[in-house]
A and B are shown apart, each in its own frame.
Chain A
Amino acid sequence: MPFIPHTEKEVKEMLDAIGVSSIEDLFDEIPPELKAVSIDAVPSTQSEMDVSRLMMERAEEDGRQLSFIGAGAYEHHIPAAVWELTTRGEFYTAYTPYQAEASQGTLQLLYEYQTMMSRLNGLDVSNASLYDGASGLAEAVLMAVRANRKSKSKKILMPKTVHPHYRKTVEAIVNKQDIKLEILDYDATGGHLSPEQLPQSPGDFAALVIPQPNFFGVMEDVDMLTDWAHSHGALVIAVVNPIALALLQPPGEWGENGADIACGEGQPLGIPLSSGGPYYGFMCCKQALVRQMPGRIIGKTLDMDGKPGYTLTLQAREQHIRRSKATSNICTNQGLMITASTIHMAILGAHGLEEAAATSNENTNTLIDKLTALPGVEKVFERPVFHEAVLKFDTPLKDVLRALNAQNLIGGYSLEDEYPELDNALLVCATETKTQADIDTYVNHLERILSKQETVKCPVSPKI
């Protein structure tokens, strides 16, 4: 029997010890009419060999394309050691370190993670992760509303240059608490939040969200925006890419006083794409706000002998103590993912991250230069980008993308649904994983597709 170790003799001994004659007797407190259950639609047990074969066949169908999509999830090289170590049973099969003395491995690692993230973000403290970047931003919004005691309103200024899925997630999570998101448009030329887009008399608002780089890959004027928000008594929530932070000014140093809260998607730091998860959301803040921070936090302390050790701390914020008055309902976090990220950052170091960031920037610029050299392809925004950019096509984008798919190539993320005003716009990304040959493959296919008067309408499924 899979994963059940009992022998028949043992079962008998155990039933005797309990004083019942069958296992079924142990369910005698359940009303009998509820027990007439059938779960026949569940398939029968299969051997590991059979399930392996099924899964290998299915995995073959997915994920073997040359891909130029970013849009919130980025392909970066992950050293083999990262997941070899992360999936060690001692990390993989432990739980939340409630018994600190028996969890010093995980706890010290999380303390190292907090240190790395707070340095990367230039802020005092980090928590030990939230579910993902989008839900993390929702938590940051709730935190800002709690923390900004000067603001009476529950209004948040949210630029349209924040990832559309993040905006939707924030809306879904905070709208039950009367929090209003006021959407700020972007500058049509720069693709950023320019002073003209800021409300002239914003009134009372709790926080401004600032993405860097923004969803279009464009760099925002973070110093100006931070100072503007602070001058109106609001807090600043930074949404940042952790790989970009290896090169870019950290949120804690934005403007005169720095962003108050920084959050973002941790996936670029050693987490595979995996169709969208598990990833993790990171969150850092200024020391003064730490008691409003959601999620688990690890602190260093001393044991009875005066020896240093690590433990969960500030638990009075959390649901298992505060219940309905907790800072969040979060309990389980993404511990294993930040285990991987910590190891990833340790192996790469700041130099490794800087190189990944710089090469991604370079590759993307090369890709944009080569693609926009083709007739009918233009760059939409003129501001500098990090590792993504928006391109505009003068032919129907859907057809172009399908023709590329037929070549087993994913050309980017179409903005048609989320930003219809941009008209046939495509968000492209080339990280350090793309070679010059990969970029040329894209350019050559696109050139050929665009040069045909009529693009391929219905491609056959690609052979993988």
Chain B
Amino acid sequence: MLIFEQSKAGRKDGPGKRKKKQGSAIPKNFLRKQSAGLPEVSELQAVRHYTRLSQKNFSIDTHFYPLGSCTMKYNPRACNSLAMLPGFLNRHPLSPDMFGQGVMACLYELQEMLKEVTGMNAVSLTPAAGAQGEFAGMAMIRAYHDAQGDTARTEVLVPDAAHGTNPASAVMCGYTVREIPTSSNGDVDVDELKKVVGPQTAGLMLTNPSTVGVFDRNIQEISSTVHKAGGLLYYDGANLNAILGKVRPGDMGFDVIHMNLHKTFSTPHGGGGPGAGPVGVSERLTPFLPVPMVAHDGDEYRWLTEKDCPQTIGRLSAFMGNTGVLLRAYVYARLLGKEGMIRVSEYSTLNANYMMAEMKKKGFDLAYPDRRATHEFIVTMKRQAKELGTNTMDFAKRLLDYGFHAPTTYFPLLIPECLLIEPTETEDKDTLDAFIDTMEKILKEAQENPEQLKDAPHTLPVRRLDDVRAARELDLAWKAE
């Protein structure tokens, strides 16, 4: 039942007469003629309704959530409670610097820590999510070329395995996109790259470790190929979790990078966000960083704005991006410290390689059987789809019945019938084993009783939903019958 269906006119007035409506200082012609039509429910009704709704969700706190590329690790509760201290929550974004030294100290130190772990020259925290970080990065690449008077660079190279945000971000910066194929071993096809790179190349956007779950071994050659042609290298930090404290994008030769703090730095995913997508840059791109940033002059922290950074690509939001998310990431970074950061990449890699090895033993096909997994790996169900008639989506939905959130399905697009599995470092071996055993059990069901899979899920609040109907008969807002 929707909250609207629990509404009763007059409930908010209570018994007796309602007070005269205020707002008389606003001339009538500006006022709305009808009330906005929000539900009229008691606080208890609302609390009960949304508590019950929450219970219909899978979440990290309730379920193993091995969603590849999303790094669904434990979100420490301390990060939330400390970011929600009243002093932080009540600070207005435009209040004077003297009333923001606490939050600015945290942000400044976070900038410094992110610089260190990525090997970049400077960091701006303001992008609100990974995709906005990508936009900022590509805008800086364009600003750099423009500042050099090098306006003939109109093309951005993106591997076919990349996240969809990469080409979309490049287009928002006025570039055309050219795809680079992935070779059969999972690395970027360097020969193809060499064929298409040239004076028209503004840059290459690369995720490394890549979205197919391997570390690109040719990264140095890729880097020098693009640089020699005068292009810049963009690092999509979606998979930073796999190399934290082990390898740094700056050392690989990247000029600009975004980080997804909601992945690597364990800020909550919140049912879709908010994220935070800070950008780091090499020295030559530093003047173009988006504002505001935090500077430390003597004893005081202050905001750096357009006045301090005349070549900045500008502002990406009204104020300081997702500050509350940044505070959560800061707390997480302090709790982990450098020792804990290195463990992140080590144990996420251990978990992924263990799962990959065990799933292979259980008869699943790996997309790249000869490669090491990074913090994630890909299983392809192409054979099962052909032999048993059960596809990846059927496996995914059946996993839900067994209390596991499904891995990422059908991404990357170049691997047919794939599951991208990312366990993260915070899962224990028993959980991984339980998942692997369940996958084996579902494989048996697929052989013996495929309908079990095709009709799945059976035990959730709804059965499989009709997406085609949702798109054809659009119903995007509730209307009273």
Contact = CB atoms under 8 A, between A and B. Distances in A.
A91 B271 contact: yes
Nearest to B290: A172
Nearest to B328: A278
Interface stretch (A195-203, A303-311, A448-456): A303-311
Contacts of B25: 361-362, 365, 384
A54 B85 CA distance: 12
A86 B68 CA distance: 25
17 contacts: A3-B340, A34-B247, A42-B337, A59-B88, A59-B102, A67-B95, A72-B319, A176-B139, A219-B30, A248-B32, A277-B322, A280-B274, A299-B474, A303-B466, A319-B165, A319-B168, A326-B168
B50 A346 contact: yes
Interface residues of B, number: 192
Interface string A71-84: 11101000101010
Given A96-B271, A131-B128, 6 more contacts: A43-B113, A90-B61, A99-B397, A111-B478, A176-B174, A323-B168
B313 A332 contact: no
A302 B112 CA distance: 50
B17 interface: no
B315 A89 contact: no
Given A96-B272, A101-B457, A219 B26 contact: yes
Interface in B428-481: 428-429, 455, 457, 460-467, 469-471, 473-478
A4 B26 contact: no
Interface stretch (B33-41, B190-198, B278-286, B379-387): B33-41
A329 B82 CA distance: 32
B331 interface: yes
Interface in B73-128: 73-76, 78, 80, 82-96, 98-103, 105-106, 112-113, 115-117, 119, 128
A399 B169 CA distance: 44
B215 A30 contact: yes
Q: Which interface class (under 10, 10 to 19, 20 to 34, 35 or more) fits A? A: 35 or more
Interface string A316-343: 1011111111101111111111010011
B72 interface: yes
B171 interface: yes
Interface in B279-337: 290, 306, 313-325, 331, 333-337
Contacts of A347: 41, 43, 46
B337 A301 contact: no
Contact of A29 (B85, B168, B215, B358): B215
A275 B12 contact: no
B470 A290 contact: no
Interface in A112-144: 112, 114-116, 118-120, 122, 124-126, 128-129, 131-135
A276 B320 contact: yes
A62 B113 CA distance: 22
A275 B341 contact: no
Contacts of A219: 26-27, 30
Interface in A133-175: 133-135, 163, 165-166, 168-169, 171-173
A332 B134 CA distance: 12
Nearest to B318: A134
Which of B89, B117, B317 has the most CB atoms of chain A within a 10 A radius of its CB?
B317
A168 B315 contact: yes
Contacts of B15: none
A461 to B, nearest CB: 7
Contacts of A39: 116-117, 245, 248, 338, 341-342
Nearest to A166: B318
B467 A311 contact: yes
Nearest to A329: B168
A227 interface: no
Contact of B59 (A93, A248, A253): A93
Contact of A71 (B40, B94, B320, B469): B94
A13 B93 contact: no
Given A96-B272, A323-B164, A104 B56 contact: yes
